[in-house]
Chain A
Amino acid sequence: NAGVTQTPKFQVLKTGQSMTLQCAQDMNHEYMSWYRQDPGMGLRLIHYSVGAGITDQGEVPNGYNVSRSTTEDFPLRLLSAAPSQTSVYFCASSTRNEQYFGPGTRLTVT
């Protein structure tokens, strides 16, 4: 039981490049979320999903897309990277009673 896995752990992009951050969970949780964490800003919700095929926007969705074709996977796509997207990204999966975070991806956009 690996819990929540994220890849890559680190990534450097140039402005305008696109990429996908991968997130997978093996706990059969319905709910999955993506957060970004910036100094002094806490964790801010980007997108979330309450089940396969269902996604919705969080607090800071602009510049990001998600899809949830299976229960296990919830990838986050950066369409055209900008320096403002430099951050640490956490994926989480949850039931109604608890939430588990992945180890995070540190993304730098130059």
Chain B
Amino acid sequence: EDKVVQSPLSLVVHEGDTVTLNCSYEVTNFRSLLWYKQEKKAPTFLFMLTSSGIEKKSGRLSSILDKKELFSILNITATQTGDSAVHLCAVRDFGNEKLTFGTGTRLTIIP
């Protein structure tokens, strides 16, 4: 059974700090790993990673995948209060395309 574990469960930092969120996974047939941000409503897509060592970047957010060690990290630099959210990691199975989610990291940014 596919499994995703995220750490830490919650994180509280001050505005301007840099944070690193962790995601480790077990999946039968790996296709991709996805990161989402969830505020009060539905999750919104951040990144999809398929290859090891290639950093995906969008503004202050970046993410990288290590397929040998089966983990990914999401970095957020110069955090802002708008980054406060639950950040979710998910892995997609090759073939049936099922997504398995972790329980998320609740990030709180203090002004």
Residues on A facing B (Cβ under 8 Å): 31, 33, 35, 40-45, 48, 50, 56, 58-59, 90, 92, 94, 96-104
Label chain B's interface by main secondary structure.
strand
Whether the pair B103, A101 counts as a contact (CB closer than 8 A) is: no
20 sample A-B contacts, Cβ–Cβ < 8 Å, listed by A number: A40-B103, A42-B101, A42-B102, A42-B103, A43-B43, A43-B90, A43-B101, A58-B98, A59-B100, A90-B43, A92-B99, A94-B99, A97-B48, A98-B45, A99-B34, A100-B45, A101-B42, A101-B43, A101-B44, A103-B41
Chain B interface residue number, banded = 20 to 34
Given A101-B42, A104-B41, A104-B42, does the pair A50, B97 have CB atoms closer than 8 Å? Answer: yes
Residue of B nearest to A91 (CB): B42
Checking B41, B88, B96 against A43 with a beta-carbon cut-off of 8 angstroms, the contacting residue is B88
Cβ contact within 8 Å between A41 and B103: yes
Residue B31 CB within 8 A of the other chain: yes
The answer to whether A31 and B97 touch across the interface, beta carbons within 8 angstroms, is: yes
Once bound together, how far apart are the Cα atoms of A35 and B96, in whole Å?
Answer: 16
8 closest A-B pairs by CB: A42-B103, A101-B42, A43-B101, A42-B101, A31-B97, A101-B43, A104-B42, A103-B42
Complex-state Cα separation, A56 to B50, whole angstroms: 25
